[in-house]
Amino acid sequence: MALPQLNTATYELKLPSTGKTVKYRPFLVKEQKILMLAQESEDEKQIERAFAEIISSCTFGKLSPYKMPLFDIEYIFLKLRGKSVGEKVTLNVLCPDDEKTRVDIDINLKDVGVLMNDDHTNEIELTKDIKIIMKYPTLSDMTGFGEKGEVLSIFEMIKNCIQEIHSGEEIYNSIDISSKELDEFIGNMSIQNFEEVSMFFETMPKLQHVIKVKNPNTKQTGEVTIEGMQSFFV
């Protein structure tokens, strides 16, 4: 005799990047197990695979996590966690005034969202005739980030996120440009150009929440900024 099937509620969210409505369900014990094993391993690649697998399963296979902007992934997992485990998260944070005292702070996930910077743009004008169109880093881009060292990883990230190069009326798509050609193109940027490209990453949408923290020893209150998926959940 077949065992009874447990019904699971479904919900909807809007992707921050496109506004597209996506249906999802809470993650179940089987997915919680995947996440716990990944956390226990302390292996960043395994943790990222766990996030991707859970998001794919809980959105009924309609999304491709490795191809989505990282802030979409962070937002989806925020919603999944809220409906699966509860909206409250307890974080252990460092008091900013003395930078040594740690306190536990409760955060309501309903208050957390993706920060959109009004000054952000993905079009960067390098010269009067040349501009580049950037795309957002994906979970795939972040996999293994830092393995080659911080400097090389940053250059690799920039290369991966150049979507198009416009020169006058000509448009060069990155899929038609060799890795060597992109390396040379980036290497020939001015310092000012490179800083403008860096600003794209600094101002791009991100999961962020600012909390007030009172130091029990000094009685001083300060602000702590929590950013990124792993800051909230790992």
Closest among 154, 168, 171, 159 to 134, alpha carbons compared: 159
Per-residue pLDDT of the chain in tens (234 residues, 90 and over written 9): 788 877 788 999 999 999 999 999 998 899 889 888 988 887 878 888 888 999 999 999 999 999 999 999 999 989 998 998 888 888 899 999 999 999 999 989 888 889 889 989 999 999 999 999 999 999 888 776 767 788 888 899 999 999 999 999 999 999 999 999 999 999 999 999 999 999 999 999 998 899 999 999 999 999 999 887 666 664
Which residues touch 211 (CB under 8 Å, ≥6 apart)?
93, 105, 107, 223, 224, 226
Placement of tokens 């191809």 in the chain: 67
**Predicted local distance difference test score (pLDDT) of residue 104:** 93
**pLDDT on residue 162:** 96
Q: Which of 86, 60, 54, 45 is nearest to 73 (CA)?
A: 54
Give the residue from 189, 209, 194, 184 showing the smallest Cα distance to 113: 209
pLDDT at residue number 43? 82
What's the pTM value of the predicted model, to 2 decimals?
0.84
- Per-domain residue ranges of the chain: 11-114+206-233, 124-200
Q: Tell me which H or E stretch contains 195.
A: helix 191-203
Determine the pLDDT at residue 38.
86
pLDDT at residue number 140: 83
